[in-house]
Structure 1
Amino acid sequence: MRTSFRTTALAVFALTLVQSAPANLVQDGNFTSVTYSGAPALSAPYFGQFGTGTGSTLTVANWTTAGYNFVYSATNVDQGTQASGANAGQPNQAPGQFNTGAGYGNTYMWGSHNGGASTWTAPPGGGNFIAADGAFEQGALTQVITGLTVGQTYALKFYYGGAQQQGTFTTATTSQWTVSMGTGNVAGNFTTPVVNNPAESFSGWFQQTFYFYANNTTETLSFLASGTPNGQPPFALLAGVDLQVVPEFSSWMVFAGFGAVCIGFEMVRRRRRRSEFAPAA
């Protein structure tokens, strides 16, 4: 079986692009590495408030927070109420519960399974997601990013949305994220569009891309939720965090030029073959 030069060349070109595709520099951008350190023993999957300094019994690998921030999946985020649910009435016990020692009861979001107005959907990239209160005990979600090149441009992509804590909260809310790392547009900060969320509902997922310049080989990536109104738990949602280097223009030109040359050779070869076998005039 004879393989054309163009087919072989394009295959090599495509393989080169795949092999040169940048890797995600964020560790556990889908928030799936959740561990539990409390008692009584519980079975995975774990969900609820997490982070150091909160009294929580949950951790999410590579991520740090001291705020009123939770980790959920679409299958457990609205599977209970403040009065009932996983490990009901047990302070400092995950999942689904605020864990400062005082205990605020089981903390779920409004959804179709507990009387809310919306049906939850999983993040487009799969995995779990973060729900962070933007008006109560705010605390950034952070991760230290290593292996950066000073002066290089990086593309940060993620999914975001809005929701409201289940309970006696029936007022529409707003939420958004402030994101920082290296140098952005204002001292390294960007903000997502505001999500206007009807009461007792889930907004759905939106995707955002920000570009940063690395000032150092190691930078701290930070997400801080904000929202309104106070007292109506406006939760900002975060999922599918992906940070990749933006290839330099010269590198892409080399790849594109190689592909164009391959196609050009094939076109010339085919013209010659047609002229060789063309009938004499």
Structure 2
Amino acid sequence: MKIVGLAVRRALLVGVVAIGATHAEGQTANLVKNGNFEDLTNGFGQVVINGNGSQLTTGTNVTSATSWYAPRINGNGYPGLFFTDNGVSRGYNYAYDTTNRYLFGTTSWDGTSSQGGSYLVMAAADYVTSVGTLSQKIDGLTVGQSYDLSFSWAAAESKSLYGSNEAAYRASISAMIDGQTYATPTANVAAAGFGGWTTAVYSFTYRGGSDVLSFQAAGSPAYAQPMVLLDGVSLALTPSVPEPATWAMMLIGFSMVAGVARYRRRCGMKITYTS
């Protein structure tokens, strides 16, 4: 029985390895670093603006997300970008502003992300702050390869950005990479309402253009102070359809596992595996 036990164990091991190999083939790594915005340099607050000038580069409530950067915009306006985990941010407008800023919500939303943890809030219209951009350089892109870009987003309205101008509003978000723009459908939300988290997925074939992934929000009317929330950013190889050889390996693996099970039932005995 020792020899039989070894043979059965080896057959089972080969079958499991074959199945595991085909499963691993379909797994792809996320090329976006810190896509959930959990790694922040200075906690929650206004996003650091990269570039020269007076735009938010230092301050008590100024922070940034590792691997991401916010390009400087034209003029001296402050891009409305901040990180939070509950719909409240300190120092929303200026580097030394200690006033809490809020987002309107509904009884169905507690200010948290569908992904959990921190998320980015982006001004969707120029009002007190300006529409800003958050970007990241993506390493490892291959020309001619297909990729899937996905992210979670939601529409919201600012509650305390120099007054509470409640109004029905519209908001959307666009992702830009490789010279292409992928815009979400526009969310139409009632005054002081929350648009709800949703996941957007876009597939593209990399053509060798810009390898910088950027996000920018859009919305109206400006006086309603529409915002877009962003979280869970991912960019990975499009899973490939298994080749015939891969399907054959899977069938062999399942057949081996099933064969071992049938053998044990037919023998009607317990097999002790010993080395």
User: Residue 113 of structure 2: which of 102, 123, 126 is its match?
Assistant: 123
CA contact (8 A) 2:22 2:249 kept: no
Separation in 1, partners of 2:95, 2:56:
5
2:82 aligned partner: 70
1:109 aligned partner: 103
Separation in 1, partners of 2:31, 2:44:
25
CA contact (8 A) 1:98 1:106 kept: no
Separation in 2, partners of 1:269, 1:51:
62
Separation in 1, partners of 2:148, 2:114:
18
2:254 aligned partner: 263
CA contact (8 A) 1:147 1:217 kept: no
User: Residue 49 of structure 2: which of 48, 51, 54 is its match?
Assistant: 51
Secondary structure of 1:9's counterpart equals helix
Secondary structure of 2:41's counterpart equals strand
Residue-by-residue CA offset, 1:193-241 (whole Å, 9 max, x unaligned): 2122222232221011111222238601111100111111110111000
Indicate how the Cα distance of structure 1 residues 178 and 21 shifts in structure 2: closer, same or farther if over 3 A, else same: same
Residue-by-residue CA offset, 1:17-50 (whole Å, 9 max, x unaligned): 23762111001001122123xxxxxxxx423344
Structure 2: tracts of 5 or more residues without a match: 73-78, 269-275
Higher relative contact order (CA 8 A, sep 6+): 2
Separation in 1, partners of 2:103, 2:81:
12
- Percentage of identical aligned residues: 24
CA contact (8 A) 2:82 2:92 kept: no
TM-score under structure 2 length normalisation: 0.74
Separation in 2, partners of 1:253, 1:192:
36
Separation in 2, partners of 1:21, 1:162:
31
CA contact (8 A) 1:192 1:208 kept: yes
Give the total of aligned pairs. 242
2:153 aligned partner: 160
CA contact (8 A) 2:152 2:232 kept: yes
Structure 1: tracts of 5 or more residues without a match: 37-44, 79-85, 87-94
1:60 aligned partner: 65
Secondary structure of 1:158's counterpart equals strand
Indicate how the Cα distance of structure 1 residues 273 and 165 shifts in structure 2: closer, same or farther if over 3 A, else same: closer
Q: CA deviation at 1:188?
A: 1.3
Separation in 1, partners of 2:16, 2:215:
41
Residue-by-residue CA offset, 1:67-114 (whole Å, 9 max, x unaligned): 32111113xx24xxxxxxx7xxxxxxxx3421267x595432123xxx
Q: CA deviation at 1:178?
A: 1.2
Matched, 1:216 2:208: yes
1:142 aligned partner: 135
CA contact (8 A) 2:22 2:250 kept: no
User: Residue 188 of structure 1: which of 169, 180, 191 is its match?
Assistant: 180
Q: Give the aligned residue type for 2:144.
A: G
2:272 aligned partner: none
1:203 aligned partner: 195
Indicate how the Cα distance of structure 1 residues 275 and 51 shifts in structure 2: closer, same or farther if over 3 A, else same: same
User: Residue 221 of structure 2: which of 208, 225, 229 is its match?
Assistant: 229
Q: Give the aligned residue type for 2:170.
A: T
Q: Using the TM superposition, name which of 54-63 and 226-235 deviates more.
A: 54-63
Separation in 1, partners of 2:197, 2:9:
45
